[in-house]
Amino acid sequence: MEVGAYVPVALFLFAVIALVFAPLMTWVERKQSALMQDRIGANRADILGIKAIGLLHPIADAIKMITKEDTVPDGGDRLLHTLAPIIATVPAMISFAVIPYGGSYQAWGAEWDLVVADLDYGVLYIFAVASLATYGNVLAGWASNNNWGMLGGIRVAAQMISYEVAMGVSAVGVFMIFGTLRLTDMGFAQQETFRLLGFVEHLGWVGAGTWWVELIKIPMWGIFLQPLAFFLFLTALMAENKRAPFDIPEGESEIIAGYFIEYSGMKFGLFYMGEWVEVVVISGLMTAMFLGGWSIPYLPDDVLVEFLRHGVGLNMANVLAMIAHVATFFLKVIVLIWFQQLIRWSVPRFRYDQVMNLGWKILLPLSLANIVITGLGILIIGEIMN
Amino acid sequence: MTEQVIFYVSAFVALISAAGVVLNVRNTLYAALCLVITMLSLAVLFILLNAEFIGVLQVMVYAGAIVVLFLFVIMLLNIRGGDMGADRQPVLKVIGTLLIVGASVKLVPLLSESRRAWPEVGPEFGTVRAIGGTLYTDYLLAFEIAGVLLLAGIVGAVVMGKQRID
Amino acid sequence: MIEAWEYQVVAGLLFMIGTLGVLVRRNVIVIVMCIELMLNAANLSLIAFSRQWGNHDGQIFVFMVIVVAAVEVAVGLAIILRLVSNRDTVNIEDTSLLKW
């Protein structure tokens, strides 16, 4: 549980992600859906005539939600009704703690680790915390004293439990490859490259150092080593996030709004806030596990620092590398957010039985098969290498 | 010092919420929520005892899955009240309570007799790697049997929960 | 420094609370919850002993207990669902067909 000397830096960035990225997601969501549906999208909010392509809408939304009347339904449970949105939102926010958005840098005699908590069981922490968010949604459905809300709550519970299994099992392949659950270690491991045709040399078909064997090098990113796991894990995470096409708990055409049917004002906003923060968490986690984390492809951290130090000295080189890495990380995160929005606005909602079938009959068997194949692969590659 | 504070606070919370499970007669859902709080504070105690992996597992499995199942069933059956029907055996309940209180009074001094110093443990203690190493070597058979048990449990639950069409 | 016996006292009291719940509550769901409490008390005790002896055996036992608890809850709640659909009660006093 070593925490770097400059935790404030990490915490600052952490706050930036949670508090800036999430409201920004409302804008992204509106603009992307408008783009895909050939509309213009949000562009009316303005301050003194400055419209900023609709970027002011999150502020307008926040003001609207805070000033709206907060109602608790008759016969509902006031305590749980108030607690539920908080329970739903907080886990999403604290999940960020273990996601590294930069490596480790030495500058001015101190170590700068760009992760708030570098835990040995990093990914498990996210799983554990994410599973607690279920309570918020289930309790919201219960406390509303509304049949639709109740149905939504039951659906959330069923969907969460079903997809937690697939989520955990599909990630195992990645743990096997990298041999760790610590997300920073995964980040460092993914900076290496491997030769796609290296097995030819190890089998003794060609001599060492043949040029076309050396030519094709691929970064050791999770997505290249575990392509199946990437899609299985992303699907499971998106189902955990319960946005379209997995939004059966709130499916407005069937059960109106599901578990948050009786919510208004900022309590309602918190549920959405939680979902949007979760989109960012999912993207961050996928980036750290599958897309090489903060690293720039073909450019390991130490090579970058070594290259930069000739011009500006060691301290500044580390700072520049840090900036480059954080920018790379967020670029990858933004790509994944965009990808999730693309899916969200392209695919129609699943039926309830389809969601259950997908989780139990497709994702879970494929994940188990992936574990077996990965194990065999590790064994065979180990044999060839020796 | 920090350790003491964390220990006493989470032990207190664990015991109070455990009592809440038993004492929440009116609302089964609140009993389930008390159970979650017990699980979470126990997870804190586990991590305090350097059993980090088991602590996270506790949150994941107990708080994240088992109690959600309880909530699922409570909501599915829509049990808004607590114990249905009148209280039938008040005398037996009083006797049971007295027995338990008496046993606790005897138990606490007994348990506090055995004092023993902690050994120092390395940073590897309780990590995923260390637990996995023990689990897949010394306890491999037990692990496999646990897997079979889970399969049997899945089959049993499916058979039990199936609505018979007749 | 917290010592082993303090954890054991907490575990013992937790176990007693669980037993009390099984004895005095008549709601089947709450009884299963109280069994979970007892299992958790045992878990705490095992983890404390694991720390006391500095080896991982206790933690492995807890791992197994968690597996068994998960299975127990899955099957137990399925039984409760059947019970409710057949007899329309969660009170354990009403399920006395096998009682002499």
Q: What angle do CA C53, A118, B139 make, to 5 degrees?
A: 35
Mean pLDDT of chain A: 81
pLDDT tens, position by position, B76-124:
887 665 555 456 677 777 888 888 888 888 888 887 777 777 777 777 7
Q: Which of A80-89, A120-129, B55-64, B84-93 has the lowest mean pLDDT?
A: B84-93
Q: What angle do CA A87, A243, A248 make, to 5 degrees?
A: 95
In terms of Cα–Cα distance, which of B8, B73, B1, B2 is closest to B35? B73
Tell me: cis bond preceding A245? Omega within 30 of 0 counts. yes
Whether residue C16 contacts residue B18, with contact meaning beta carbons closer than 8 Å, is answered with no
User: What is the extent of the structural domain holding B11?
Assistant: 2-82+124-161
Whether residue B155 contacts residue C75, with contact meaning beta carbons closer than 8 Å, is answered with no
Q: Assess if residue B38 is contained within a domain.
A: yes
Q: Does B156 touch chain A (CB under 8 A)?
A: no
| ipTM of this complex | 0.87
d(CA C39, CA C65): 7
Whether residue A350 contacts residue A248, with contact meaning beta carbons closer than 8 Å, is answered with yes
Domain CATH code at residue B14: 1.20.120.1200
> How many structural domains compose chain B?
1
Question: What are the structural domain ranges in chain A?
Answer: 71-385
d(CA B75, CA C86): 18
> How many structural domains compose chain C?
1
Q: Assess if residue B30 is contained within a domain.
A: yes
Q: Assess if residue B22 is contained within a domain.
A: yes
Interface of C with B in 55-84 (CB under 8 A): 56-57, 59-60, 62-64, 66-75, 77-82, 84
B-interface mutation test, from A95, A135, A150, A167, most B Cβ less than 10 A away: A135
Q: Does B50 touch chain A (CB under 8 A)?
A: no
Q: Assess if residue B97 is contained within a domain.
A: no
Chain B residue whose CA is closest to C74: B157
Whether residue A290 contacts residue A230, with contact meaning beta carbons closer than 8 Å, is answered with yes
- Other CB atoms within a 10 A radius of the CB of residue A68 amount to 14
Residues of A in contact with B52 (CB under 8 A): 119-121
Residues of C in contact with B13 (CB under 8 A): none
d(CA A166, CA A44): 42
In terms of Cα–Cα distance, which of A338, A361, A310 is closest to A33? A338
Q: Assess if residue C100 is contained within a domain.
A: no
Task: Report the run of H or E that residue A105 belongs to, with start and end.
Answer: strand A104-107
pLDDT band of A91, cuts 50, 70, 90: confident
Q: Assess if residue B116 is contained within a domain.
A: no
pLDDT tens, position by position, A187-233:
888 887 777 777 777 777 777 767 777 777 788 888 888 888 888 99
User: What is the extent of the structural domain holding C14?
Assistant: 4-88
- Other CB atoms within a 10 A radius of the CB of residue B2 amount to 7
Q: Assess if residue B89 is contained within a domain.
A: no
Q: Say whether C91 sits in a helix, a strand or coil.
A: strand
